[in-house]
Amino acid sequence: MLKYTFLIATGLILFSCKQKTEQHESNFPTKFELSKGTETATYQETIAFYTHLAKEFPEINIQTIGDTDSGKPLHIVTFNVDGDFNYQKVAEDKVVLLINNGIHPGESDGIDATMLLFRDLATKKLDAPAKTIVATIPIYNIGGALNRNTSTRANQNGPKVYGFRGNTKNYDLNRDFIKADTKNALSFAKIFHLVNPDLFIDNHVSNGADYQYTLTHLFTQHNKLGGNLGGYLNNKLMPKLEELLASENWDITPYVNVFNAVPENGFSQFIDHPRYSTGYTTLFNTFGLMVETHMLKPYDKRVEGTYELMKQVLHIAETDGEKIKELRKKALTRHTNWTYYPTKWEIDSTKSTVLNFKGYKADTLQSSVTGFSRLKYNRNEPYTKQVNYQNFFKSIDSVLIPKAYIIKKGYDKILSLFNHNKIKFEILRQDTLLTVETYSIKNYESRTEAYEGHYLHYNTKVNTAIKPINFTEGDILVYTNQPGFRYIMETLEPEAVDSFFNWNFFDPILQQKEGFSPYVFEDEAETMLKNDSLLLRSFNTKKENEIEFRSNWYNQLNWLFKKSEHYEKAHMHYPVYRILKN
């Protein structure tokens, strides 16, 4: 009798739990569910949803951290089964997964999928992770989310209404992480360094071709992540995620990095420079993953796929958490064994991966609009083919790692970014003469069209010299041996792709402030050549070898002017100096 009583009581408890879960789900329906998978939540609905969850469940916390250009604050929502939200304490023992949504609000899949994930964790529809904290920025680009429309995503299959890619100031926030022109980026840095995530997911939607997959992944480039971190990502984390998704009947492939070309010809991995979210998180040894669902697939399937992917990443965090944290901890000091730091990367053509790619046959037709050739995919002719995927990169340039940098005072934005990114620096308290390595800008190119508020430089080259420099009280000393080492190198080395120099932080040094009047300087130039035989020889050789120089009298005088004592030292002189290691 006791056995049957126990069974009945157990059954009643299980029924009560199931009933409570179903009741909680019905109390927390999302806009996505209510619309039967055709609509996405507005910004107001999203925040209200998480606020309601936080009031109902002690495992969920919502708070505001920092401002955005929209005038509204940025939110972070946290799920911790223990109900403790002190990151400085709990993040030591638990893995932290940070999910970013709505950086491009028209790509809203992650917004809805993460609402479902948090609701299902809270209601115990999903097993609550014991070893992992899940945090999310519900909507990062609030200004874009408020700017809703039905037409700007020209190729996208739902939802009915969505946000706009640009933020309130029309910045693409996924190009702003290193230069931080927006309040959003500054607030993201606060959240990122508070949370210090071990794993990072940024949810997106994309289309460069047509293929069978709903899900594609864009992990941070493993060679660039480097060492044991990169090895674990490429050989363990990525394959494990693919296997777990396949076990749930979700195929996934690397992000199809093509434009107006067919995938079966092969494609390369997208390299995420620090301007991008996963490139930025890489600088702090976080495992980054950008999810790119295929915009031509139905909206409900895209949201479901994003949900499943996040669920499986959470599973990996639970099972591999100790390994992940161990790798990140060791990476904090790995740079102490490095002599050089890579500043530029390119595809390593000697290595590649073969994918069993699931695509659609594509025909090249004559366009009735332009008269030129165009691609036309045929979904009635699916295929599975072996496709060459170039996902190995190699460093093609590097720089000797200095002991420290010294930045001339006055560059307040750089100091502000250092503070936001937990970069330690010291202020010189007295004038000091130091022997340092100096850079002068030898050459650079610039975009001819505006790009995210800048005319970005590239192909930058420098000349170096070792010389004594007088530094003054207030100049800034930045040692490289600190956790933010990679951030320091990527921003202060002018030849690095996303350096502060290339993002125009130092453009005033590129403009010469003092000049000469030819009719006056002619006499001094003549005297210079008479009194300096080496200068005369160099001048004549240059005229002999360079037709353009020989035929342009002003260029000749200008060349001599730059050899004179009148030429200003600040022109093309990079105001960041390197203290080399002994």
Instruction: Collect all residues with Cβ–Cβ distance below 8 Å to 485 and sequence separation of at least 6.
Output: 335
Same domain (yes/no): 197, 109: yes
Kindly state whether residue 384 falls inside one of the protein's structural domains.
Answer: no
Buried b (16+ CB within 10 A) or exposed e, 89-119: eebeebbbbbbbbbbbbbbbbbbbbbbbbbb
507 and 555 in one domain? no
Evaluate whether residue 304 is within a structural domain. Answer: yes
Range of the structural domain that residue 282 is part of: 2-332
For residue 480, the model assigns a pLDDT of 98
The answer as to whether 360 is a domain residue is no
In this structure, are 464 and 530 located in the same domain?
no
Residue that finishes a domain, picked among 307, 332, 357:
332
Number of domains in the chain: 3
pTM: predicted TM-score of the whole model, two decimal places: 0.94
3-state secondary structure of 352: coil
What pLDDT shows up at residue 432? 96
Q: Hey, is 313 helix, strand or coil?
A: helix
Residue 38 lies inside a defined structural domain of this protein: yes
In a domain, 130, yes or no: yes
- Any residues with CB less than 8 A from the CB of 421 and at least 6 apart, and which? 189, 193, 484, 487
Same domain, 49 and 161: yes
Secondary structure (H, E, C), 499-538: CCCCCCCCHHHHCCCCCCCHHHHHHHHHHHHHHCHHHHHH
Same domain, 528 and 435: no
CA distance 327 to 321: 10
Look at residue 345 and tell me if it is in a domain. Answer: no
Same domain? For 157 and 295 the reply is yes
The pLDDT tens digits for 104-117 are: 999 999 999 999 99
What is the pLDDT at residue 91?
83
pLDDT of residue 27: 82
Claim to verify: residue 171 and residue 264 sit in the same structural domain: yes
pLDDT of residue 37: 98
Radius of gyration (C-alpha) of the chain in whole angstroms = 28
Question: Would you say residue 356 lies in a domain?
Answer: no
Same domain, 534 and 499: no
Peptide bond into 159 cis (omega under 30): yes
Tell me: do 428 and 546 sit in the same domain. no
CA dihedral sign, ordered 100, 105, 109, 115:
positive
Q: What is the pLDDT of residue 26?
A: 65
Residue 30, number of CB atoms within 10 A of its CB: 20
Residue 96 and residue 133 in contact, taking contact as beta carbons nearer than 8 Å? yes
Give whole-number Cα distances, 451 to 182, 259, 276, 455, 456, in Å: 14, 20, 14, 6, 7
| Rounded Cα distance, 500 and 493, in Å | 8
Residue with tokens 């202020």: 427
Contact 209, 255 (CB under 8 A): no
Last residue of a domain, one of 283, 300, 332: 332
Neighbours of 3 (CB within 10 A): 7
H-only helix segments in 233-352:
238-247, 277-282, 299-331
Boundary of a domain, candidates 313, 332, 351: 332
The reply to whether 522 and 497 lie within a common domain is no
Residue 168 falls within a domain, yes or no?
Answer: yes
- Regions of the chain with pLDDT less than 70: 1-26
Asked whether residue 211 falls in the same domain as residue 325, the answer is yes
303 and 410 fall within a common domain: no
